[in-house]
Amino acid sequence: MARADSASPEKGLLARAPSGALVLGAIASVQFGAAVATTLFQRLGPGGTVFLRLATAAIVLLVLWRPRLHLRSARELQLAALFGLVLAGMNLTFYEALHRIPLGIAVAVEFVGPLGVAVAGSRRRLDALWIALAAGGILALTRGGAHTLDGLGLLLALIAGCFWGCYILLNARLGSSFEGSTGLALAMCVAAVAALPAGVADGGAHLLEPESLALGAAVGMLSSAIPYSFEIEALRRIATPVFGVLMSIEPAMGALAGFLVLGQGLSARAVLGIAMVVTASVGASRHARAAPIAVQ
Protein backbone atom coordinates (compact mmCIF):
# COMPACT_ATOMS: atom_id res chain seq x y z
CA MET A 1 0.00 0.00 0.00
CA ALA A 2 1.29 3.46 -0.84
CA ARG A 3 2.21 5.80 2.00
CA ALA A 4 0.94 9.34 2.14
CA ASP A 5 3.59 12.03 1.75
CA SER A 6 1.33 15.00 2.25
CA ALA A 7 -2.25 16.08 1.85
CA SER A 8 -3.38 17.99 -1.22
CA PRO A 9 -6.74 19.37 -2.34
CA GLU A 10 -5.99 17.81 -5.75
CA LYS A 11 -6.26 14.33 -4.27
CA GLY A 12 -9.92 14.56 -3.27
CA LEU A 13 -10.96 16.23 -6.51
CA LEU A 14 -9.25 13.72 -8.79
CA ALA A 15 -10.30 10.74 -6.67
CA ARG A 16 -13.96 11.67 -7.14
CA ALA A 17 -13.73 12.29 -10.90
CA PRO A 18 -14.79 9.48 -13.31
CA SER A 19 -11.80 7.70 -14.83
CA GLY A 20 -13.04 8.20 -18.38
CA ALA A 21 -13.46 11.94 -17.83
CA LEU A 22 -9.93 12.17 -16.46
CA VAL A 23 -8.45 10.48 -19.53
CA LEU A 24 -10.47 12.59 -21.98
CA GLY A 25 -9.54 15.76 -20.10
CA ALA A 26 -5.90 14.76 -20.21
CA ILE A 27 -6.09 14.17 -23.97
CA ALA A 28 -7.57 17.59 -24.69
CA SER A 29 -5.13 19.33 -22.34
CA VAL A 30 -1.97 17.73 -23.71
CA GLN A 31 -2.88 18.21 -27.38
CA PHE A 32 -3.83 21.88 -27.08
CA GLY A 33 -0.75 22.35 -24.91
CA ALA A 34 1.36 20.85 -27.70
CA ALA A 35 -0.22 23.25 -30.18
CA VAL A 36 0.66 26.21 -27.95
CA ALA A 37 4.18 24.82 -27.49
CA THR A 38 4.71 24.82 -31.24
CA THR A 39 4.39 28.61 -31.22
CA LEU A 40 7.48 28.77 -28.99
CA PHE A 41 9.77 26.83 -31.31
CA GLN A 42 11.03 29.87 -33.22
CA ARG A 43 12.25 31.50 -30.01
CA LEU A 44 13.26 28.50 -27.87
CA GLY A 45 13.49 25.55 -30.21
CA PRO A 46 11.98 22.17 -29.26
CA GLY A 47 14.56 21.54 -26.52
CA GLY A 48 14.00 24.87 -24.80
CA THR A 49 10.23 24.45 -24.97
CA VAL A 50 10.40 20.95 -23.49
CA PHE A 51 12.65 22.10 -20.66
CA LEU A 52 10.33 24.98 -19.67
CA ARG A 53 7.35 22.62 -19.89
CA LEU A 54 8.91 20.01 -17.62
CA ALA A 55 10.48 22.49 -15.21
CA THR A 56 7.18 24.32 -14.73
CA ALA A 57 5.31 21.09 -14.14
CA ALA A 58 7.97 19.93 -11.66
CA ILE A 59 7.69 23.14 -9.63
CA VAL A 60 3.89 23.00 -9.52
CA LEU A 61 3.80 19.35 -8.51
CA LEU A 62 6.48 19.81 -5.84
CA VAL A 63 4.52 22.68 -4.29
CA LEU A 64 1.28 20.67 -4.34
CA TRP A 65 2.61 17.34 -3.08
CA ARG A 66 5.89 18.03 -1.23
CA PRO A 67 7.22 14.44 -1.53
CA ARG A 68 9.46 13.19 1.26
CA LEU A 69 12.36 11.16 -0.01
CA HIS A 70 13.13 9.55 3.34
CA LEU A 71 9.74 7.81 3.32
CA ARG A 72 10.53 6.03 0.07
CA SER A 73 12.41 2.82 -0.60
CA ALA A 74 15.27 2.65 -3.07
CA ARG A 75 13.05 0.62 -5.41
CA GLU A 76 10.36 3.30 -5.41
CA LEU A 77 12.89 6.04 -6.07
CA GLN A 78 14.39 4.05 -8.93
CA LEU A 79 10.91 3.64 -10.44
CA ALA A 80 10.29 7.40 -10.22
CA ALA A 81 13.70 8.11 -11.79
CA LEU A 82 13.06 5.68 -14.65
CA PHE A 83 9.66 7.23 -15.26
CA GLY A 84 11.28 10.66 -15.33
CA LEU A 85 13.79 9.57 -17.98
CA VAL A 86 10.96 8.15 -20.09
CA LEU A 87 9.08 11.45 -19.74
CA ALA A 88 12.12 13.39 -20.92
CA GLY A 89 12.72 11.07 -23.87
CA MET A 90 9.07 11.07 -24.90
CA ASN A 91 8.76 14.85 -24.80
CA LEU A 92 12.05 15.64 -26.49
CA THR A 93 11.51 13.26 -29.40
CA PHE A 94 7.88 14.29 -29.86
CA TYR A 95 8.62 18.02 -29.86
CA GLU A 96 11.47 17.50 -32.29
CA ALA A 97 8.94 15.68 -34.50
CA LEU A 98 6.45 18.56 -34.13
CA HIS A 99 9.17 20.90 -35.34
CA ARG A 100 9.21 18.96 -38.64
CA ILE A 101 5.71 17.56 -39.31
CA PRO A 102 2.10 18.65 -38.55
CA LEU A 103 0.67 17.97 -35.09
CA GLY A 104 -2.15 15.67 -36.21
CA ILE A 105 0.19 13.48 -38.24
CA ALA A 106 2.84 13.41 -35.50
CA VAL A 107 0.30 12.21 -32.94
CA ALA A 108 -1.09 9.56 -35.26
CA VAL A 109 2.38 8.14 -35.98
CA GLU A 110 3.32 8.36 -32.30
CA PHE A 111 0.19 6.41 -31.47
CA VAL A 112 1.99 3.15 -32.26
CA GLY A 113 2.91 3.21 -28.56
CA PRO A 114 -0.60 3.08 -27.05
CA LEU A 115 -1.69 0.77 -29.86
CA GLY A 116 1.15 -1.60 -28.98
CA VAL A 117 0.02 -1.59 -25.33
CA ALA A 118 -3.54 -2.39 -26.41
CA VAL A 119 -2.44 -5.25 -28.67
CA ALA A 120 -0.11 -6.64 -25.99
CA GLY A 121 -3.10 -6.86 -23.66
CA SER A 122 -4.99 -9.04 -26.13
CA ARG A 123 -4.42 -12.55 -27.45
CA ARG A 124 -6.86 -12.67 -30.37
CA ARG A 125 -6.04 -13.65 -33.93
CA LEU A 126 -8.08 -10.67 -35.08
CA ASP A 127 -5.31 -8.44 -33.74
CA ALA A 128 -3.37 -9.06 -36.95
CA LEU A 129 -6.14 -7.21 -38.80
CA TRP A 130 -5.91 -4.20 -36.47
CA ILE A 131 -2.14 -4.08 -36.83
CA ALA A 132 -2.50 -4.14 -40.61
CA LEU A 133 -5.14 -1.40 -40.46
CA ALA A 134 -2.91 0.79 -38.29
CA ALA A 135 0.02 0.21 -40.64
CA GLY A 136 -2.17 1.18 -43.58
CA GLY A 137 -3.24 4.33 -41.77
CA ILE A 138 0.32 5.36 -41.07
CA LEU A 139 1.21 4.61 -44.68
CA ALA A 140 -1.64 6.87 -45.80
CA LEU A 141 -0.29 9.61 -43.55
CA THR A 142 3.28 9.36 -44.72
CA ARG A 143 2.81 8.90 -48.45
CA GLY A 144 1.26 11.07 -51.11
CA GLY A 145 -0.21 14.52 -50.65
CA ALA A 146 0.96 17.91 -51.84
CA HIS A 147 4.27 17.73 -50.04
CA THR A 148 6.65 15.12 -48.77
CA LEU A 149 6.83 14.75 -45.01
CA ASP A 150 10.18 15.07 -43.28
CA GLY A 151 11.61 11.58 -42.81
CA LEU A 152 13.46 12.46 -39.61
CA GLY A 153 10.25 13.93 -38.19
CA LEU A 154 8.41 10.67 -38.84
CA LEU A 155 11.22 8.63 -37.26
CA LEU A 156 11.21 10.86 -34.18
CA ALA A 157 7.44 10.46 -33.88
CA LEU A 158 7.86 6.68 -33.98
CA ILE A 159 10.53 6.82 -31.27
CA ALA A 160 8.25 9.04 -29.20
CA GLY A 161 5.58 6.37 -29.64
CA CYS A 162 7.88 3.75 -28.13
CA PHE A 163 8.47 6.03 -25.16
CA TRP A 164 4.71 6.58 -24.93
CA GLY A 165 4.07 2.85 -24.63
CA CYS A 166 6.65 2.62 -21.83
CA TYR A 167 5.05 5.66 -20.21
CA ILE A 168 1.64 3.94 -20.03
CA LEU A 169 3.04 0.79 -18.45
CA LEU A 170 5.29 2.61 -15.98
CA ASN A 171 2.53 5.07 -15.10
CA ALA A 172 0.36 2.23 -13.84
CA ARG A 173 3.21 0.98 -11.63
CA LEU A 174 3.96 4.47 -10.35
CA GLY A 175 0.33 5.03 -9.42
CA SER A 176 0.23 1.84 -7.37
CA SER A 177 3.48 2.66 -5.56
CA PHE A 178 2.93 6.31 -4.64
CA GLU A 179 0.14 8.27 -3.00
CA GLY A 180 -1.49 10.90 -5.18
CA SER A 181 0.97 12.54 -7.57
CA THR A 182 4.00 12.37 -5.28
CA GLY A 183 5.76 9.88 -7.56
CA LEU A 184 4.96 12.03 -10.55
CA ALA A 185 6.44 15.07 -8.80
CA LEU A 186 9.71 13.22 -8.26
CA ALA A 187 9.72 11.89 -11.82
CA MET A 188 9.08 15.35 -13.24
CA CYS A 189 12.15 16.68 -11.44
CA VAL A 190 14.27 13.96 -13.02
CA ALA A 191 12.73 14.71 -16.43
CA ALA A 192 13.47 18.44 -16.13
CA VAL A 193 17.10 17.79 -15.21
CA ALA A 194 17.46 15.31 -18.10
CA ALA A 195 16.03 17.88 -20.54
CA LEU A 196 18.21 20.74 -19.24
CA PRO A 197 21.15 20.28 -21.68
CA ALA A 198 18.84 20.28 -24.71
CA GLY A 199 16.96 23.23 -23.27
CA VAL A 200 20.06 25.36 -22.83
CA ALA A 201 21.43 24.35 -26.23
CA ASP A 202 18.21 25.33 -28.04
CA GLY A 203 16.87 28.17 -25.92
CA GLY A 204 19.93 29.82 -24.43
CA ALA A 205 19.25 33.23 -22.88
CA HIS A 206 15.74 33.30 -24.37
CA LEU A 207 14.69 30.85 -21.64
CA LEU A 208 14.77 33.74 -19.15
CA GLU A 209 12.65 36.18 -21.16
CA PRO A 210 9.31 37.01 -19.43
CA GLU A 211 7.22 36.08 -22.46
CA SER A 212 9.02 32.75 -22.83
CA LEU A 213 8.57 32.00 -19.14
CA ALA A 214 4.86 32.84 -19.27
CA LEU A 215 4.16 30.72 -22.33
CA GLY A 216 6.39 27.95 -21.03
CA ALA A 217 4.43 27.92 -17.77
CA ALA A 218 1.17 27.65 -19.71
CA VAL A 219 2.55 24.77 -21.76
CA GLY A 220 3.84 23.08 -18.60
CA MET A 221 0.40 23.20 -17.00
CA LEU A 222 -1.52 22.14 -20.12
CA SER A 223 0.89 19.49 -21.38
CA SER A 224 2.38 18.03 -18.21
CA ALA A 225 1.04 18.94 -14.77
CA ILE A 226 -2.67 18.62 -15.61
CA PRO A 227 -2.74 15.64 -18.02
CA TYR A 228 -0.14 13.52 -16.23
CA SER A 229 -1.93 14.02 -12.89
CA PHE A 230 -5.22 13.04 -14.52
CA GLU A 231 -3.74 9.97 -16.19
CA ILE A 232 -1.91 8.62 -13.16
CA GLU A 233 -5.14 8.84 -11.13
CA ALA A 234 -7.15 7.17 -13.90
CA LEU A 235 -4.63 4.34 -14.22
CA ARG A 236 -5.11 3.51 -10.52
CA ARG A 237 -8.66 2.44 -11.30
CA ILE A 238 -8.67 1.02 -14.83
CA ALA A 239 -6.64 -1.62 -16.63
CA THR A 240 -4.00 -0.40 -19.07
CA PRO A 241 -5.79 -1.90 -22.13
CA VAL A 242 -8.91 0.11 -21.21
CA PHE A 243 -6.69 3.17 -21.01
CA GLY A 244 -5.51 2.36 -24.52
CA VAL A 245 -9.11 2.33 -25.76
CA LEU A 246 -9.84 5.74 -24.26
CA MET A 247 -6.63 7.14 -25.70
CA SER A 248 -7.78 6.17 -29.19
CA ILE A 249 -9.17 9.65 -29.85
CA GLU A 250 -5.74 11.24 -29.28
CA PRO A 251 -4.79 11.48 -32.99
CA ALA A 252 -8.12 13.12 -33.83
CA MET A 253 -7.73 15.56 -30.92
CA GLY A 254 -4.22 16.38 -32.12
CA ALA A 255 -5.52 17.12 -35.60
CA LEU A 256 -8.26 19.35 -34.15
CA ALA A 257 -5.77 21.26 -31.98
CA GLY A 258 -3.41 21.70 -34.91
CA PHE A 259 -6.24 23.09 -37.04
CA LEU A 260 -7.73 25.44 -34.42
CA VAL A 261 -4.49 26.78 -32.89
CA LEU A 262 -1.97 26.49 -35.73
CA GLY A 263 -4.14 26.50 -38.83
CA GLN A 264 -2.70 23.15 -39.93
CA GLY A 265 -5.17 21.71 -42.42
CA LEU A 266 -5.08 18.05 -43.38
CA SER A 267 -5.76 16.42 -46.73
CA ALA A 268 -8.55 13.88 -47.14
CA ARG A 269 -5.84 11.19 -47.32
CA ALA A 270 -4.39 12.29 -43.97
CA VAL A 271 -7.83 12.36 -42.35
CA LEU A 272 -8.44 8.83 -43.64
CA GLY A 273 -5.08 7.71 -42.23
CA ILE A 274 -5.90 9.15 -38.79
CA ALA A 275 -9.32 7.45 -38.88
CA MET A 276 -7.68 4.12 -39.71
CA VAL A 277 -5.26 4.42 -36.76
CA VAL A 278 -8.10 5.33 -34.39
CA THR A 279 -10.25 2.43 -35.65
CA ALA A 280 -7.36 0.00 -35.25
CA SER A 281 -6.79 1.09 -31.67
CA VAL A 282 -10.45 0.74 -30.71
CA GLY A 283 -10.68 -2.64 -32.42
CA ALA A 284 -7.52 -3.98 -30.80
CA SER A 285 -8.68 -2.96 -27.34
CA ARG A 286 -12.42 -3.59 -27.62
CA HIS A 287 -12.43 -6.68 -25.40
CA ALA A 288 -10.72 -4.73 -22.64
CA ARG A 289 -13.88 -2.71 -21.94
CA ALA A 290 -14.98 -5.52 -19.68
CA ALA A 291 -11.64 -5.90 -17.94
CA PRO A 292 -11.75 -5.78 -14.16
CA ILE A 293 -10.92 -2.50 -12.51
CA ALA A 294 -7.43 -2.37 -11.09
CA VAL A 295 -7.83 -1.67 -7.38
CA GLN A 296 -4.92 -0.23 -5.45
Q: What is the pLDDT of residue 133?
A: 83
128 or 241: whose pLDDT is higher?
128
User: Which distant-in-sequence residues (6+ apart) come within 8 Å of 67 by Cβ?
Assistant: 5, 6, 178, 182, 183, 185, 186
Q: Domain range for residue 55?
A: 21-288
Residue 230 falls inside a structural domain: yes
Confidence of residue 6 (pLDDT cuts 50, 70, 90): very low
Decide: pTM greater than 0.85. Answer: no
Q: How far apart are CA 215 and CA 204, in angstroms?
A: 16
Residue 173 falls inside a structural domain: yes
Closest CA to 12 of 180, 178, 172: 180
Asked if residue 1 has pLDDT above 50, the reply is: no
Q: How far apart are CA 249 and CA 272, in angstroms?
A: 14
Mean pLDDT of the residues in the chain: 81
Residue 254 falls inside a structural domain: yes
Q: What is the pLDDT of residue 9?
A: 47
Q: What is the pLDDT of residue 162?
A: 93
- Using DSSP's 3-state secondary structure scheme, residue 185 falls into helix
Burial bucket for residue 74 (CB in 10 Å: 0-12, 13-18, 19+): exposed
Domains in the chain, number: 1
Residue 16 falls inside a structural domain: no
- Please give the average per-residue pLDDT across 4-10, as a whole number: 47
Residue 70 falls inside a structural domain: yes
Q: What is the pLDDT of residues 252-281, one digit of tens each?
A: 888 888 888 888 887 788 888 888 887 877
Residue 9 falls inside a structural domain: no
Residue 8 falls inside a structural domain: no
Residue 284 falls inside a structural domain: yes
